[in-house]
Structure 1
Amino acid sequence: MSTTTQTMEIAKTILEQIKYADRSALMTWGAQNFAAIGESKEFQGGLAFQVNGLTHQGWVKVCLRWADDYTIVFINKKRETVKTFERAYCDMLVPVIDWVEGK
């Protein structure tokens, strides 16, 4: 499997996990501008998207760690990291993002 294919598969899987957990979550967060995150020393890949939520406007990065859990990073419009949540599993993606969104 090529690196590009693997990168896209990881991003699609994260998107599917969010949709499976809560079909309306992405719409509620005002999610748009989705992008796959490539492999790095720390991460297998991930998904980044822009949000326009109640308390967080900016970007959310969901990164798949090599240990098979996620690190979720919240970045504001000034491109500053405002919060990082580590060791999340797929069933925690929506609750963690909802919590930061102030839902």
Structure 2
Amino acid sequence: METTSRSMEIAQIILDQIKYADRSALMSWGANNFCALSETKEFQGGLSFKVNGLTHKGWVKVCLRWVDDYTIIFINKNREVVKISEGAYCDMLVDVIDWIEKK
């Protein structure tokens, strides 16, 4: 139970950080199907969501690493990883996801 609430808390923090950086970002990416990611050996948790952007259609996983930065994983509709961006901080989330979206 405690792990679940911690996962939800991390997912909500990531969502809040994205909204704080750019209120319309999630809408412009066509983001939906939000899901909290569980803790793993590599990550404290994270947030996954589906996007329907101009160039990237599929999923985005924002994973909080134990060293307090983010790994952002882009997955296409065939469930293949198409790009991984490591070492992002909370103030960079929107820019990194936008950069992939507009590529």
Percent identity, aligned pairs only, is: 75
TM-score w.r.t. length of structure 1? 0.98
Q: Is 1:60 matched up with 2:60?
A: yes
Partner of 1:78: 78
Instruction: Measure the CA separation in 2 of the matches of 1:43 and 1:35.
Output: 15
User: By how many angstroms is 1:69 displaced?
Assistant: 0.2
Partner of 1:13: 13
User: By how many angstroms is 1:10 displaced?
Assistant: 0.1
**Structure 1 gaps, min length 5:** none
Instruction: Measure the CA separation in 2 of the matches of 1:17 and 1:41.
Output: 23
Runs of 4+ in 1 over 3 A off after TM superposition: none
Instruction: Measure the CA separation in 2 of the matches of 1:98 and 1:7.
Output: 25
Task: Classify the secondary structure of the residue corresponding to 1:10.
Answer: helix
Q: Structure 2: which amino acid aligns with 1:78?
A: N
TM-score w.r.t. length of structure 2? 0.98
Partner of 1:44: 44
Instruction: Measure the CA separation in 2 of the matches of 1:15 and 1:96.
Output: 15
Per-residue deviation, residues 32-68 of structure 1 (Å, max 9, x unmatched): 0000000000000000000000000000000000000
Instruction: Measure the CA separation in 2 of the matches of 1:48 and 1:54.
Output: 19
Instruction: Measure the CA separation in 2 of the matches of 1:79 and 1:3.
Output: 26
The root-mean-square deviation of aligned C-alpha atoms, in Å, is: 1.1
User: By how many angstroms is 1:6 displaced?
Assistant: 0.4
